[in-house]
Amino acid sequence: MKFNLKISNQLKVAYNEELKYYRHHLLNKQYDNAWYHLERSHIIGQSYPIEHTYSHWLMLQFGLMQKNTKEVFGQLLRLAVGGWKSFINHVPVGNTGGADVLPLKRMPIPNDIKEIFM
pTM, whole model, 2 decimals? Answer: 0.92
Dist. CA 47–CA 10, nearest whole Å = 14
Dist. CA 47–CA 67, nearest whole Å = 28
Domain presence at residue 64: yes
33-39 contacts, C-beta under 8 A, 24 or more apart: 34/62, 35/62, 35/98, 38/62, 38/97, 39/96, 39/97, 39/98
- Per residue in 92-105, pLDDT (tens digit) is 889 999 999 988 88
Q: Which residues contact 10 (CB under 8 A, 6 or more apart)?
A: 116
Residue 10 pLDDT greater than 70, yes or no: yes
Q: Determine the average pLDDT of the residues in 22-48.
A: 97
Q: Determine the average pLDDT of the residues in 100-115.
A: 91
- Determine the pLDDT at residue 6: 87
Q: Which domain holds residue 37?
A: 9-117
- Determine the pLDDT at residue 35: 98
Domain presence at residue 3: no
Domain presence at residue 104: yes
Residue 13 pLDDT greater than 90, yes or no: yes
Q: How many domains does the chain have?
A: 1
